[in-house]
């Protein structure tokens, strides 16, 4: 799953260098749940752009893309084990 997480973060960076993959969950064998964050906020349009950009994953998974919520403090990319903290 770590390789998939890194691959998705890299692809998000290609779409927008400020996009962060905050968390990646695999609630079922054929589903991926992505939580994304952006300094400008996450809205439905951004979730749709991410879903379209990652459309190749839809051959193997159903995708759910959302924000971790308004109270979330942006810790940095999910691939960073320190959570972006020093």
Q: What pLDDT, on the 0 to 100 scale, is given for residue 2?
A: 86
> Cα separations (Å) of 43 from 5, 50, 67, 75, 84?
22, 11, 8, 19, 23
The model's pLDDT over 48-84, given as tens digits with 9 standing for 90+, comes to 999 999 999 999 999 999 998 776 655 544 444 444 4
Q: Determine contact, residues 34/24, Cβ cutoff 8 Å.
A: yes
pTM: 0.78
- What domains can you pick out in the chain, each with its CATH number? 2-66 (3.30.300)
45 torsion bin: left (phi>0), alpha (psi -120 to 50), beta (else): alpha
């Amino acid at each position: 799953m770590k390789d998939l997480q890194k691959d998705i973060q890299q692809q998000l960076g290609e779409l927008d260098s400020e996009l962060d993959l905050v968390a990646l969950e695999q609630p079922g064998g054929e589903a991926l749940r992505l939580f994304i964050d952006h300094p400008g906020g996450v809205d439905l349009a951004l979730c749709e752009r991410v879903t379209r950009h990652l459309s190749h994953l839809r051959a193997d998974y159903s995708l759910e893309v959302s924000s971790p919520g308004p109270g979330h403090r942006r810790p940095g990319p999910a691939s960073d084990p320190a959570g972006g903290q020093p």
